Structure 1
Amino acid sequence: MSVTATTSVLPTEGPERQRVAEIDDFLRRHPRHHGDGPARLVSADGEEVRVPAQLFDLLREIAAMLARGDGVAVNAISRELSTTEAAKLLGISRPSLVRLLDDAAIPAHRVGSHRRVFLRDVLDFRQRQLEERRRSYEALMRESDTLGLDDE
């Protein structure tokens, strides 16, 4: 993908991992917006800045991963993707993506002779697919219960 920067953080151990777990717990217990306004970061000298919801949610996810002992890699992704980049992000072949574009399942536009898709449209499509899979799975489980089938 059109990566402009990659930042990686290795898993933490010992006291540092405990501190990350405390931060993870803190972030989970406190909503991004509290009664007195949005979350804020405060520097050692008292300067503070508001934390946008999007960044707060990302910090929460990163803290949870590090608290579990996982490493984290954050990549910048362009707002506009080639068909190859979009297919890679979705985990499908480029010809499969092109079919989705031809069927207008994902909006696309042309830059010269090349098709491009916006990152938001690709992520929206992926979310719709995940939701459809979840609904199908739930329907299958309900049918299984109705028929009296179980895992044994």
Structure 2
Amino acid sequence: MANTAEKLEHNSLMDRLPTAEEIDSAAHAATAIAVAMELDGGLKVSGENGDPVKIAPAVGELIIELLGHVSNGNMVTLVPVGTMLTTQQAADMLNVSRPYLTGLLKKGEIAFEEVGKHRRVPLKALMEYKENKARRQEETLRELSRLGQEYDRA
């Protein structure tokens, strides 16, 4: 098993772009899994002893999304929710400058921890901020749309 993990790690798509063959394979696999999930309401694979193992729909959707990124030629990195990010990594994920992110941290908009003199941002806190920001933007757009319709009627 360790040998397999070493081979997978050495040839990981987390470290390089996928080849044309891998892109094609990912596209076909994503389609096949999506069809199987639609037909059966889930996904089943064969376990060690050939016994069927049911994969939860949410996990199947995650696999399809991962394969979708690979089929688009993207390198993929999986990051556990408990991961602590540097301020630069967090800024990159939000597509903002590091000084702007630092301002958000100082205002208390995103939780962080201090490790020595450095700030670390929990991925979970960053994702919560992104979700809240997206929700606020959506609410603002709805309100603008409503106001625009009222203005048109007047």
Normalised by the size of structure 1, how large is the TM-score? 0.69
Q: Identify if the C-alpha distance between structure 1 residues 48 and 30 changes in structure 2 by more than 3 Å, giving closer, same or farther.
A: closer
The 8 Å contact of residues 23 and 63 in structure 1, kept in 2 or not, is answered as no
The 8 Å contact of residues 21 and 64 in structure 1, kept in 2 or not, is answered as no
Aligned Cα root-mean-square deviation (Å)? 3.2
Residue identity in the other structure for 2:152: G
**The structure with more strand, counted as a fraction of residues:** 1
- In structure 2, runs of 5+ residues without a counterpart are 1-8
2:78 is matched with 76
Q: Identify if the C-alpha distance between structure 1 residues 28 and 73 changes in structure 2 by more than 3 Å, giving closer, same or farther.
A: farther
Deviations 1:11-43 (A, max 9, x none): 428xx85564242233356555xxxxxx54324
- In structure 1, runs of 5+ residues without a counterpart are 33-38
Deviation of 1:54 (Å): 5.5
Q: Identify if the C-alpha distance between structure 1 residues 26 and 51 changes in structure 2 by more than 3 Å, giving closer, same or farther.
A: closer
Q: Relative contact order, CA 8 A, sep 6+: which one is greater?
A: 1
The 8 Å contact of residues 27 and 68 in structure 2, kept in 1 or not, is answered as no
Q: In 2, Cα distance between the equivalents of 1:84 and 1:132?
A: 24
Residue identity in the other structure for 1:70: N
* 1:53-68 equivalent positions in 2, closer than 5 A: 55-63=59-67
Residue identity in the other structure for 1:80: M
| 2:138 aligned with 1:128 | no
* 1:6-85 equivalent positions in 2, closer than 5 A: 6=14, 8-9=17-18, 11-12=23-24, 17=27, 20-28=30-38, 31=41, 40-43=44-47, 46-49=50-53, 51=55, 55-63=59-67, 70-77=72-79, 79-85=83-89
* 1:87-126 equivalent positions in 2, closer than 5 A: 87-126=91-130
Normalised by the size of structure 2, how large is the TM-score? 0.69
Residue identity in the other structure for 2:34: D
Length, aligned pairs only = 136
Residue identity in the other structure for 1:87: A
Q: In 1, Cα distance between the equivalents of 2:28 and 2:78?
A: 28
Percent same amino acid among aligned pairs? 21
**The structure with more helix, counted as a fraction of residues:** 2
